[in-house]
Amino acid sequence: MKNQRTRDAVSQARAPSSGLGVSETTWERPSTSPGIPASPGPHRSSLPPTVNGYHVAGTPAHPPETAHMSVRKSTGDSQNLGSSSPSKKQSKENTITINCVTFPHPDTMLEQQLLKPTEWSYCDYFWADKKDPQGNGTVAGFELLLQKQLKGKQMQKEMSEFIRERIKIEEEYAKNLAKLSQNSLAAQEEGSLGEAWAQVKKSLADEAEVHLKFSAKLHSEVEKPLMNFRENFKKDMKKCDHHIADLRKQLVSRYAAVEKARKALTERQRDLEMKTQQLEIKLSNKTEEDIKKARRKSTQAGDDLMRCVDLYNQAQSKWFEEMVTTTLELERLEVERVEMIRQHLCQYTQLRHETDMFNQSTVEPVDQLLRKVDPAKDRELWVREHKTGNIRPVDMEI
């Protein structure tokens, strides 16, 4: 599955983009001067660009109604954590998280190049989840692809069953033709017409043989290949489903850790701000020491958030790469399935043409004999065999 061509496509897709950033929250490392907030420039996490969920250029990134969604912002100007000013300057939203997958925000995103332009490839159009028409939840894009694969396998099986029914009809038809060819009706017809009639009955036996051979070839060259193609396909698809589902579960877990770390950082910052305000009004002699501890905890919480975001981005990148690789493989399998069925249906039509040709050959002797039917000649032969005398009667004399 993971061939070089697929890896190239994945690497080309990994254009720099903003991941599940931590830049919407800030924290400060301990100041060298006790009791005095650090310099105005806050410590901001700097993570390498990672692959966010893939969104097709020109299509909306809005989630289904039931999707869990959160929007991340990045801070604009630096902001002192110790300040109580309510006027934080923030840029527009950069990312939007839907069901724990991070996408570029539709209002700020740059156009993304499709991995396989003009091909309507699976790897370009199934990144978001879709509202489940059967319930209130959502269905992952990969799940839709998997359902299509399993449906294709079912259709292949039903085609095989259809051909089997066709074979039964052929066998029954051949059996009835053979039985009819042994019927004694009109067996006493004589002359050239009798010969033609006998050939008609013989042609039924020949036609029965043709249909038996046709049914045997249908079984070996069409039905059996359709039935046996990818016997373990469902099992393979189940493994594939579990693999992608495990990666998605890991992504959900990483996202939960990010949210937990983000909440912890917010609480540490709030505690630091409160202690800083207490220092300003000198409510306690221990405030400076408390501020040092609060700042260390805030810094540690920020570092924890950075680590969690990094792990999340790694998990999302892994999921992205496996999604591209696996969807391209599903695409290849679908093309292979369709081509296989097409070839065997072509074989069916070829066998059908051959059967028609052989059936035609069974009636050619009948046609030849029918062209030779001569009522006058038949009458002559019959008269010669059955005549009772050629002296005609005359009038009686007195």
Beta bridge partners, 102, equal 97
What integer pLDDT is reported at residue 284 of this predicted model?
A: 58
Q: What is the helix (H) or strand (E) element at residue 69, kind and residue range? A: strand 69-72
Task: Report DSSP state, residue 230.
Answer: T
Q: Mean pLDDT in runs of 10 for the chain (398 residues)?
A: 49 45 42 35 36 36 48 43 34 80 88 91 95 86 95 94 97 97 94 94 96 96 93 89 95 97 95 82 68 90 96 97 96 95 97 94 94 94 91 91
Residue with tokens 């939007």: 96
Residue with tokens 């296989």: 340
Q: How far apart are CA 210 and CA 300, in angstroms?
A: 85
The answer to whether 245 and 323 have CB atoms below 8 angstroms apart is: no
Contact status, residue 67 vs residue 281, Cβ threshold 8 Å: no
Which residues does residue 72 pair with via DSSP β-bridges, in sequence order? 95
- Count how many residues are written for the chain: 398
Could you tell me which of 210, 217, 229 has the C-alpha nearest to residue 338? 229
User: Model-level pTM greater than 0.85?
Assistant: no
DSSP conformational letter for 75? B
Report pLDDT for 212.
96
Q: Which residues of 185-208 are buried (b: 16+ CB within 10 A; e: fewer)?
A: eeeeeebbbbbbbebbbebbbbbb
CA distance 140 to 251: 13
* CA–CA separation, 123 and 149 (whole Å): 15
Distance CA 30, CA 182 (A): 107
